[in-house]
């Protein structure tokens, strides 16, 4: 089973990389320096966890893999844009991302700003351009879902709360509220729009899948906080220890490493439980869950 | 006729303002400071020319006005986001917009960045959320059109070319190419998605409308360049003379004021010609054309 997952995830990571390469504009088109920088920011890195979740959810709803690919690409573009903007000097001011200089270091701040802006537009363009679902109406719902996840009551809103909380002591529920938006919303939309590419799930199935996605989004963040404390910059491909350095509240700063790991295990258990109604059809989602909890970078 | 247009445009500007107020998230929802800043950046200013074009194009296709309103709001949100990001220190570094301090001056750079990001997401969310066209498929095409207009081969791409050209001497065709993307693409999409809310136009009508939108987009920029030279900051509500100060090539720097005004008149003539096939149904589009050419701010 583990060997099977390793093959599956490697194949899908490679497939997403190729698809991003094909769908991103090339430097053959004007403005070449902007297109070059967009490719720099997106290609050649990342674990593509959001894509793996979309593919696993697509397997659950028996979705055509090429449709899920476009949905996954859109989510990766939104994720990549958020990293480029988060790394800017006025935000987290970071110089290392996916083992390379950040976009504004390699190019400049103005280009990095426009890279992020353009990647967001491209994500919605692709979701509207290709046929992705049984009906165009379902596709509109997918677009709405991704837009909500990215916006002021999702990812961008979570980032605003994060910045406002620097140096503050948060309670566990306050930290959870921030992360449900900052990282959770996009992970949740990856699962849901991956599933929307296939056969319609009934309300109870959709509800369970959404709960699963919520647990897994939080689990991802808890593990991220642990890795930020325990791993090296070299392993992570990004600056390690920066939450503590930036005086940001994290699961580790509130709970300590040991209790944070316990919380991740509890979230895995909760996530597994929500998948029970799907039986064997959710096998891949369980494997991606394990991958998220056990990863070392 | 002129009095009639003044009433129509005032009514529609007021209607767009009210609709933006209703559709933007309020500071009652978390994160309140981000929502507050989004409203600051969008409300209470601007001529809403893109909205007027969308409404006029909607009259041509006999579109339901409430549908055009959502489309116009989406275009205004994209426009407002671009102004917030363009004003940032790493871009044009401006302090005055619509007669008020720019968003990053009133709040801070990080919030201004997230305001722009969130406004872009909200535009696509609204276009996907409401029923806007005869079929969901047409609505997907509207989303694709707006996303293309906003992205790296539209508005954001034009801004990248603009920044790369600072201090350079451009030929008239090079300047035109930049502006077709930087301001033209969004104006064009305002016309086209306004029309898409109504009855389907045939291919020849769509082609003419697209040509109209291209001419009007260029005319808008030529007049903008003239006003940047001739008007005061007080009249404009933004810093006057900043193109010359920033050493940016403009229609005025290449042609001089007199020839630039002549070019605007030529573009009005070309725009009128493309509307001929529509007869009286395009009366409103002709009026908005005149408004764009004759405006003094």
Question: How far apart, in Å, are the Cα atoms of A17 and each of A119, A121, B45, B129, B226?
Answer: 15, 19, 43, 31, 47
Structure tokens at B67: 């549908």
From the list B287, B268, B236, B222, the residue with the least C-alpha distance to B10 is: B287
Q: What is the CATH number of the domain that holds B188?
A: 1.10.600.10
Residue by residue, what is the 3-state secondary structure of B4-18? HHHHHHHHHHHHHHH
Return the SS3 of B101: strand
Residue B201, C-beta contacts closer than 8 angstroms, at least 6 positions apart? B60, B61, B195, B209
A1 pLDDT band (50/70/90 cuts)?
Answer: low
Residue of A nearest to B148 (CA): A125
Q: What's the maximum distance between 2 C-alpha atoms anywhere in chain A?
A: 52
Whether residues B163 and A110 touch (CB distance < 8 A) is answered with yes
What would the pLDDT profile of B77-121 be if each residue is shown by its tens digit? 999 999 999 999 999 999 999 889 999 999 999 999 999 999 999
Please tell me the predicted confidence (pLDDT) of residue B295.
87
Q: Any idea which residue has 């949100």 for tokens?
A: B77
Give the domain extent around A8.
2-294
Return the SS3 of B100: strand
Of B31, B121, B148, the CB nearest to A161: B31
Whether residues A150 and B116 touch (CB distance < 8 A) is answered with no
Residue A221, min C-alpha distance to chain B (Å): 20
In angstroms, rounded to a whole number, what is the distance separating the alpha carbons of residues B231 and B99? 14
Whether residue B264 contacts residue B293, with contact meaning beta carbons closer than 8 Å, is answered with: yes
Give the ipTM: 0.96
Centre a 10 Å sphere on the Cβ of residue A279 and count the other Cβ atoms it contains: 8
From the list A212, A231, A222, the residue with the least C-alpha distance to A172 is: A222
Mutation target among B85, B130, B160, B164 for the A interface, most CBs of A within 10 A: B160
Average the pLDDT over A160-172 and give the result.
Answer: 90
Question: How far apart, in Å, are the Cα atoms of B250 and each of A30, A193, B166?
Answer: 20, 44, 10
Whether residues A30 and B161 touch (CB distance < 8 A) is answered with yes
Whether residue A230 contacts residue A104, with contact meaning beta carbons closer than 8 Å, is answered with: no
Sign, CA torsion A43/A74/B41/A246: negative
In angstroms, rounded to a whole number, what is the distance separating the alpha carbons of residues B125 and B115? 15
Please tell me the predicted confidence (pLDDT) of residue A245.
79
Whether residues B152 and A120 touch (CB distance < 8 A) is answered with no
In angstroms, rounded to a whole number, what is the distance separating the alpha carbons of residues A241 and A237? 12
Structure tokens at B195: 């029309």
Q: Any idea which residue has 């400071």 for tokens?
A: B33
Mutation target among B110, B168, B186, B193 for the A interface, most CBs of A within 10 A: B110
Residue A169: pLDDT over 90: no
Residue B151, min C-alpha distance to chain A (Å): 5
User: Beta strand A100-101 with A96-97: parallel, antiparallel or unpaired?
Assistant: antiparallel
Whether residues B147 and A31 touch (CB distance < 8 A) is answered with no
Beta bridge partners of B97: B100
In angstroms, rounded to a whole number, what is the distance separating the alpha carbons of residues B260 and B246? 19
Residue of B nearest to A28 (CA): B153
Please tell me the predicted confidence (pLDDT) of residue B118.
98
Percent residues over pLDDT 70 in chain A: 99
Whether residues B125 and A159 touch (CB distance < 8 A) is answered with no
Mutation target among B40, B90, B149 for the A interface, most CBs of A within 10 A: B90
What would the pLDDT profile of B234-254 be if each residue is shown by its tens digit? 777 777 777 777 788 899 999
Burial of B3 (0-12, 13-18, 19+ CB in 10 A): exposed
Sign, CA torsion A97/A102/A103/A106: negative
Residues of A in contact with B117 (CB under 8 A): 81, 85, 116-117, 120, 150, 156
Residue by residue, what is the 3-state secondary structure of chain A? CHHHHHHHHHHHHHHHHHHHHHHCCCCCCCCHHHHHHHHHHHCCCCCCHHHHHHHHHHHHCCCCHHHHHHHHHHHHHHHHHHHHHHCCCCCCCCCEECCEECHHHHCCHHHHHHHHHHHHHHHHHHHHHCCCCCCHHHHHHHHHHHHHHHCCCCHHHHHHHHHHCCCCCCCHHHHHHHHHHHHHHHHHHHHHHHHHCCCCCCHHHHHHHHHHHHHHHHHHHHHHHHHHHHCCHHHHCCCCCHHHHCCCCCHHHHHHHHHHHHHHHHHHHHHHHHCHHHHHHHHHHHHHHHHHHHCCC
Of A113, A117, A144, the CB nearest to B120: A117
**Per-residue pLDDT in tens (0 to 9) along chain B, 297 residues:** 556 999 999 999 999 999 999 999 999 999 999 999 999 999 987 899 999 999 999 999 999 999 999 999 999 999 999 999 999 999 999 999 988 999 999 999 999 999 999 999 999 999 999 999 999 999 999 999 999 999 999 999 999 999 999 888 889 998 999 999 999 999 999 999 999 999 989 999 999 999 999 999 999 999 999 998 887 877 777 777 777 777 888 999 999 999 999 999 999 999 999 999 999 999 999 999 999 999 887
Beta bridge partners of B110: none
Contact pairs from chain A to chain B, CB under 8 Å: 162
Whether residues A144 and B163 touch (CB distance < 8 A) is answered with no
Mutation target among B124, B139, B146 for the A interface, most CBs of A within 10 A: B124
Whether residues B117 and A143 touch (CB distance < 8 A) is answered with no
In angstroms, rounded to a whole number, what is the distance separating the alpha carbons of residues B283 and B279? 8
A242 pLDDT band (50/70/90 cuts)?
Answer: confident
Whether residues A144 and B157 touch (CB distance < 8 A) is answered with no
Structure tokens at A92: 């987290």
Of B88, B108, B144, the CB nearest to A128: B144
Structure tokens at B149: 């207009």
In angstroms, rounded to a whole number, what is the distance separating the alpha carbons of residues A114 and A99? 22
Name the domain count of chain B: 1
Of A30, A121, A150, the CB nearest to B147: A121
Output A167-170 pairs: Cβ under 8 A, ≥24 positions apart. A167/A247, A168/A249, A169/A249, A170/A249, A170/A254
């Amino acid at each position: 089973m583990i060997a099977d997952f390793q093959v599956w995830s490697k194949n899908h990571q490679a497939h997403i990389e190729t698809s991003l390469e094909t769908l991103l504009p090339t430097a053959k088109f004007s403005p070449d320096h902007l297109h070059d920088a967009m490719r720099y920011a997106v290609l050649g890195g990342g674990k593509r966890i959001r894509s793996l979740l979309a593919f696993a959810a697509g397997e659950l709803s028996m979705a055509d893999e090429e449709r899920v690919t476009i949905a996954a690409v859109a989510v990766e573009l939104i994720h990549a844009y958020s990293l480029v903007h988060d790394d800017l000097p006025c935000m987290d001011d970071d110089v290392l991302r996916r083992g390379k200089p950040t976009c504004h270091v390699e190019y400049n701040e103005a280009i990095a700003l426009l890279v992020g802006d353009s990647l967001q537009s491209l994500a919605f363009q692709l979701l509207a351009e290709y046929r992705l679902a049984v009906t165009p109406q379902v596709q509109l719902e997918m677009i709405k879902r991704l837009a909500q996840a990215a916006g002021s009551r999702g990812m961008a809103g979570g980032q605003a709360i994060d910045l406002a909380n620097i140096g503050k002591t948060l309670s566990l529920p306050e930290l959870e509220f921030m992360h449900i938006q900052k990282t959770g919303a996009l992970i949740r939309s990856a699962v849901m729009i991956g599933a929307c590419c296939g056969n319609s799930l009934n309300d109870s199935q959709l509800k369970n899948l959404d709960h699963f996605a919520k647990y897994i989004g939080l689990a991802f963040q808890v593990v991220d906080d642990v890795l930020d404390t325990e791993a090296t910059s070299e392993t992570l491909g990004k600056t390690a220890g920066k939450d503590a350095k930036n005086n940001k509240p994290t699961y580790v700063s509130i709970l300590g490493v040991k209790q944070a790991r316990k919380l991740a295990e509890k979230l895995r258990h909760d996530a597994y439980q929500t998948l029970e109604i799907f039986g064997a059809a959710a096998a891949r989602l369980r494997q991606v869950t394990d991958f998220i909890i056990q990863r070392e970078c």
